[in-house]
Amino acid sequence: MVKNKVAMTIRSITVIVCTHNRAGLLPGILSKLRAQDYFAGAFEIIVVDNGSRDNTAEVVEKLASKPGVPIHYVLESRPGITLARNRGAEIARYPYLAYIDDDCSVEPDWLS
């Protein structure tokens, strides 16, 4: 059986994950984001570290070094989710922004 395919418009998207002292959660959400069925050249992932005192930077750098959708790390030392989200938006390469929490899980078609 052939499923009907719906034409999908590819939009360039920056996915922004804000985090604070939750390095242990990042591998899960970042692997789910990298496993999206969206065109890999049309999205990037930014992790905004909102002043964590754990090993968030090291975890993100390790994951970013692996092949796949680009993952960028940025530190926002001023506390607050709004400041973290705005910092992510400032460095985003793409015009469409998708925010997701570090403790979320997504299906492979989330961006689609």
pLDDT in tens, 47-93: 999 999 999 999 999 999 999 999 999 999 999 999 999 999 999 99
Domain boundaries, given as residue ranges, for the chain: 27-68+80-101
- CB-CB neighbours of 89 under 10 Å: 14
Contact of 74 with 49, CB cutoff 8 Å = yes
CA-closest candidate to residue 85, choices 47, 53, 57, 29: 47
What pTM does this model have?
0.91
Rounded-to-integer distance, Cα 47 and Cα 25, Å: 12
CA 41 vs. chain centroid, Å, equals 14
Contact of 21 with 10, CB cutoff 8 Å = no
**% of the chain at pLDDT higher than 90:** 90
Q: What DSSP state is assigned to residue 101? A: E
pLDDT tens for each residue of 3-36: 545 566 899 999 999 999 999 999 999 999 999 9
Rounded-to-integer distance, Cα 13 and Cα 79, Å: 25
